[in-house]
Chains A and B, each alone.
Chain A
């Protein structure tokens, strides 16, 4: 009986297909992923690239050609090699700073939102004070005070100055989660505070924390670039910011040496755009209200639901039982994510 076989096949295939569809990633997501992956790959390619970033292969601003795809910079180093090493440094700084900032932000936000009372007032007071002082000012002052900044110290400093907005947004969500019933159940069954925070509250704000992390990484990469261009970058290390710093200091723009400043400029733009696009597309996944303009997908979904309803009706007619309405439609998030802007 072939009909039974096909319907069984459909039944087993259907749930998997549905979860993929409900994840609903847009083309935007794939574009962002390709950009970010491309930049990461490019930074890793530095390991197999034949020339080192500190190897002198020519003189000041040799134009592209002669075996060098992007010519040389002001030190006579191969621009491509410097770019690869610099991108790696920038990504590491972004990653470390993002982890530091998101950990502090989520930690403070969770504690404040869940515990409440004077403790919340205190934590949020501190957060608001830190938030009110412009990060770039603190970054400049701390970087001035560090005699020899390494990429690690710089990353940690950037992370420490950029957690407050994550903390504020996480607190808002955590305090709404804290009033739900399952928290009471956990509390009554004797789970301790860290357990409740990690197992019962954190999962609800995880999607938000991931998005915040993505933005923090992008923000940290740009913050490093800004600091380095002001002359406060990590000493003796290549990064996208220091590469631009030297290009500006040695008049690459005015002398038309585009190969010296354009590559880091473009990579910075791509990194920033890629991460922001990634965040925006994740936001669409987690927050269905933002999904729009996808008439084709909506039509497909409608056709799919109609088809399911028809099948159900057929099945219902055959055994003679009434059919219930198909459970379609998108599930709406109760809260709208309160996204801040770190950049």
Chain B
């Protein structure tokens, strides 16, 4: 299959997925029995902190934003129009604040904690996994069992244990948050230094789990390649072991690179609960507060961002794979 057709086909599928995701995002909260606005407004008044004037404003802004007096299909297009112009609406819980603003404040923290963790974990995990596969024996067994244990451990469980041991029991790190009380986020040495002491624990908890997962993946790929016919052939041809190791490594790396791209795609939604555990001011904490306050616009915005990030990463991986490896283009004559 030609590259152009391959890309066109993939684009169509991912477009369908995007439309499905956006529709779900639009429809599901509207399936709540009763008028969603009434539910939300009654929840707000139950809290007691909201005056009736504010309630009225929230009600009107919701009706205006999503055009709730219009038929459903028209509402959908209003929603789509807003989303595509980058307007994610207005928060209920922090009323005048726009969702863009709230997400914009939270997103940098999530990226700062996850991107380095993913990159460092990926590099270390692959090295460890490859060594385990090539050396075999007891080394392999212990590395495999440890990695399996770490990757099997829910990432938030490790967070909780690390937080308790190193922050509460030993007192080596601060207990929660991202910077000391009284400071405001800014790009100064003193602030960054302060933030760094809060950074270590969540970073470590993410890195350790990620190393485990990558090592398990790399090990099994390398073992699979070790048993490949081309390895036996190369051996029979008298090619030196170093050279063969290079071949194996290159072939085993391909799926790992996909894994890296996909991990970067799940970056926004990948560590929601780690942030909760450390009360880190990222997207996870924002989502948690939004759920507790029934802040639909914020929840919808976060789920939308997570979905789009994952879809874009998957799409990019498939396109790059199609370009790099012609066999995939040939094999995927359909969406199989």
Contacts and interface: CB of A to CB of B under 8 A. Distances in A.
A247 to B, nearest CB: 9
B164 A289 contact: no
B7 interface: no
Nearest to A280: B148
Interface string B295-336: 010010001001100110010000000000000000000111
A248 B29 contact: no
B272 A230 contact: yes
Given A120-B334, A254-B175, A269-B153, A226 B273 contact: yes
B26 to A, nearest CB: 10
A132 B227 contact: no
Interface stretch (A1-9, A92-100, A258-266): A258-266
Contacts of B160: 244, 253, 261-262, 265
A39 interface: no
Given A133-B24, A137-B306, A230-B288, A124 B336 contact: yes
B31 A133 contact: no
Contact of B334 (A121, A225, A269, A293): A121
A272 B152 contact: yes
Interface stretch (A54-62, A65-73, A140-148): A140-148
Interface stretch (B10-18, B58-66, B67-75, B98-106): B10-18
A146 B241 CA distance: 59
Interface string B156-194: 110011011000110000011000000000000000000
A30 B317 CA distance: 39
Contacts of A253: 160, 163-164, 168, 175, 277
Contact residues of B: prevailing secondary structure: helix
A134 B268 CA distance: 11
A292 B299 contact: no
Contacts of B25: 137, 141
Interface residues of B, number: 60
A265 B277 CA distance: 12
Interface string A124-160: 1100110011101110111011010000000000000
A132 B277 contact: no
B41 interface: no
Closest 9 CB pairs of A and B: A141-B28, A273-B152, A132-B17, A276-B152, A137-B303, A129-B17, A265-B157, A133-B21, A272-B152
24 contacts: A124-B336, A128-B335, A137-B21, A140-B287, A141-B25, A230-B273, A230-B287, A230-B291, A231-B292, A253-B160, A256-B169, A262-B160, A265-B161, A268-B157, A269-B157, A273-B148, A273-B152, A276-B148, A277-B152, A280-B148, A289-B223, A289-B227, A292-B136, A292-B140
Given A147-B32, A248-B276, A268-B157, 8 more contacts: A132-B21, A137-B25, A144-B29, A262-B164, A265-B157, A273-B148, A276-B151, A292-B140
